[in-house]
Structure 1
Amino acid sequence: MSQVKPQASPRTGRYLVLLGQDDLKASIRHLSSLAQITIRQRSSTSADALDDACALVFDQIGVAFIRCTDQERSRIAAAAGGNTILAVEPERTVYAIAHASHQKRVVKPLKRAAPDSPTDTATWGIRAVGAEASKQTGKGIRIAILDTGLDLTHPDFAGRAIESRSFVSGQPVQDGNGHGTHCAGIAAGPAKPKGQPRYGVAGEAELYIGKVLGNEGSGGDGSILEGIDWAISQGCAVVSMSLGSPVQPGEGYSAVYEGVARRALAAGTLIVAAAGNESQRPEFIAPVGHPANCPSIAAIGALAEDLSVAPFSDGGLEGNGGEIDLAAPGVDVLSSWPAPELHHTLSGTSMATPFVAGVAALYAQADSNARAERLLKRLEDGAQKLQAPARDVGAGLVRAPGAA
């Protein structure tokens, strides 16, 4: 079986700097002296609107996002590896993963029709993960969905207390794409949506919507990291990221994202991310994409209704973090969609990821000590073993607590 060689993700010309957190102020001063730049706090501007010759610092995760000259970048890179400047990387462009190269194959509008039978009260995905059988609802647990936003007027979310923030300059949280609304619905849509089978896992979880991708479905690493910083500051137990960019076979993971993910775990926040849709099975399998290939981020693969691996789902071809951790429903998945359609069926590892986030919220509600690494272990221990190799499904199909 051959491997696909995906195109490299475009760079934006801006840079990410992982700062030492033992003395963050000293790290910031060192960065400022190296690059002769003005330091701004996250609250004063957004990452994608960053001016030249300045840096935006995300305090929770200890990352600076900068524009600088090549000479300044060289000075910063030369200082990397010490106690103040730990890593320097170019910013990549990232994408809503269901809108990747296989869009025509994996995105399908929902045909408006009644459920197949009177007993079909939930989608196949909800049944597969056992959400209906669980006593937990996600109540009191905060889930961050970092994506294209949410249709804040959607009737399925009426009356819900939803916190939201846009990290995309000039665009409100309101979802002009649909991808974010779909993912939010899978993770935490209502248990009894009007006129539709149940499609949401944790219907009483508290939603934190971070718009980190523009309405066209793309954005930069800076906005993603800004969203993670915000989610940690809000006390979110899980961050769901159905986004990323392809990597070359043999390419390593981002040291900046890995540092951020470790700091998130230390703060009690688990990050789950879509593995990517670049495979064309059985001809070839693409490696898990960025940033899901980081060791401390849970990479999620996609399954079809018969629990076979979805043909587009990327696989764990690389060690040291490039493995799949868990799998979840990712083919023909019904969820919410912006008006006027209100509901759509999509396919992708983007859909599998919020299933895991929703189930994580159920485990977090069931056990107040299940956070960060412990939460991931609960997910893995409770997963249903599958016939597919671990490189494609990790620990197996994610299953809700209490599911038979």
Structure 2
Amino acid sequence: MSIAATGRGVRIAVIDSGIHPQHSHIEASRLLPGISVRGDGTIDAVDDATLDRLGHGTAVTAAIQEKAPEASCIPIRVFHEGLKTTGHALITAIDWAIEQGVDIVNLSLGSTNPAHAPSFAAAIERAEEKGVIVVAPRAVGGPPCYPGALEGVLAVDLDWDCPRETYRPATDGSGCFFASGYPRPIPGVALRRNIHGISFATAQMSGFVACALERLDAPIAGDSRIEAVRAALCA
């Protein structure tokens, strides 16, 4: 199934390694000011705080923008020296995004440590209360991934055979969605040689969610918003 909308008017927080606005796959005019969050929860909002020096967040944002080119993306940088952060930083980032009034939080990441689940569950409840839809991986390589495995999250899983232009809902009643794990292609680089994985299935699903939000007949707030979007995605 495909979605013809463009995500116009939808605000997406991208919690990742930041964004490089000069990258050829990035539409810089659709980026809004963001922040950097350190492992201890310290927030930094200086001019280059969200500049991506790892490439992951830029590729994730490019996948979102490909699917929802008129959505606005807000970078929240939690990855600094490598693709590793703390649960405290992620919860700080989610809460900051909620305070900004975003519509979607894209988490192309998560923790397989179940000890983090209660804190993430509380953050997801705060998001639901404000009608913020958190899109995150259901699992990473087998084990459940948090917060994606929790109630109230629009969970994503991989389907390598799913075309990049589409997605499919799970048939087990879980409310999960499957999407391709391949990012936007780079000319001359084979798909499997480019970075790929659940991060990009999640990002592409965030783009589809943005388009579904745009197409809702009437604004829906609170914790019923995610169910309205799930229904729209399955229609």
Residue-by-residue CA offset, 1:135-154 (whole Å, 9 max, x unaligned):
x2111110011011101222
Matched letter for residue 154 of structure 1: H
- Among 376, 379, 384, the alignment partner of 2:226 is 376
The alignment status of 1:246 with 2:106, answered yes or no, reads no
| DSSP 3-state at the match of 1:254 | helix
Larger Rg computed on CA atoms: 1
Q: Does residue 152 of structure 1 match 2:21?
A: yes
Partner of 2:153: 297
User: Which residue of structure 2 aligns with residue 181 of structure 1?
Assistant: 58
The equivalent residue for 1:357 is 206
Separation (CA, whole Å) in 2 of partners of 1:186 and 1:351: 7
Q: Which of 161, 173, 177 is equivalent to 1:326?
A: 177
- Equivalent pair of 1:363/1:378 in contact (CA under 8 Å): no
Q: Which of 1 and 2 has higher RCO (CA within 8 Å, sep 6+)?
A: 2
For residues 232 and 145 of structure 2, the distance between their equivalents in structure 1, rounded to whole angstroms, comes to: 25
Query: Residues 4-36 of structure 1: CA distance to partner in whole angstroms, max 9, x if unpaired?
Result: xxxxxxxxxxxxxxxxxxxxxxxxxxxxxxxxx
Amino acid paired to 1:259? A
**Preserved contact between residue 212 and residue 232 of structure 2 (Cα < 8 Å):** no
Structure 1 position 231, deviation (Å): 0.8
Counterpart residue identity of residue 238, structure 1: I
- How far apart, CA to CA, are the structure 2 residues paired with 1:160 and 1:383? 24
Contact in 2 for aligned 1:273/1:353 (Cα 8 Å): yes
Which residue is 1:210 aligned to? 76
Structure 2 residue ranges without an equivalent (≥5) = 164-169
* Superposition TM-score, scaled by structure 1 size: 0.48
Name the SS for the 1:222 alignment partner.
Answer: helix
Relative to structure 1, the CA distance from residue 335 to residue 219 in structure 2 (aligned partners, 3 Å threshold; closer, same or farther) is farther
Closer, same or farther: CA 148–372 of 1 in aligned 2, 3 Å: farther
Contact 1:185 1:335 in 2 (8 A): no
How far, CA to CA, are the matches of 1:163 and 1:234 in structure 2? 11
Q: 1:325 to 1:373 in 2, by over 3 A?
A: farther
Matched, 1:141 2:10: yes
Are the equivalent residues in 2 in contact too, given 1:299–1:326 (CA < 8 A)? yes
What TM-score do you get using the length of structure 2 for normalisation?
A: 0.79
Q: Secondary structure at the match of 1:244?
A: coil
Indicate which of 64, 89, 98 corresponds to 1:232: 98
Amino acid at match of 1:181: T
- Give the Cα–Cα distance (whole angstroms) in 2 for the partners of residues 371 and 175 of structure 1: 32
Contact 1:277–1:348 under 8 Å retained in 2: no
The share of aligned pairs that are identical, in percent, is: 23
Determine the structure 1 residue equivalent to 2:166: none
Provide the C-alpha distance between the structure 1 equivalents of 2:233 and 2:8, rounded to a whole number of angstroms. Answer: 22
CA distance in 2, matches of 1:223, 1:257: 11
Q: SS of the counterpart of 1:144?
A: strand
| Residue-pair matches, total | 215
d(CA) in 2 for partners of 1:296, 1:290: 12
Paired residues of 1:274 and 1:353 also in contact (CA < 8 A): yes
Partner amino acid for 1:145?
A: V
Residue-by-residue CA offset, 1:297-353 (whole Å, 9 max, x unaligned)? 22210111357xxxxxxx9xxxxxxx56221111x33268xxxx9x98332111111
The match for 2:129 is 266
Q: Say which structure is richer in strand.
A: 1
Q: Find the aligned partners of 1:205 and 1:145 in 2 and give their Cα distance.
A: 12
Distance in 2 (alpha carbons) for counterparts of 1:362 and 1:306: 19
- Out of 240, 250, 255, the position equivalent to 2:118 is 255
Q: Point out the structure with the larger helix share.
A: 2
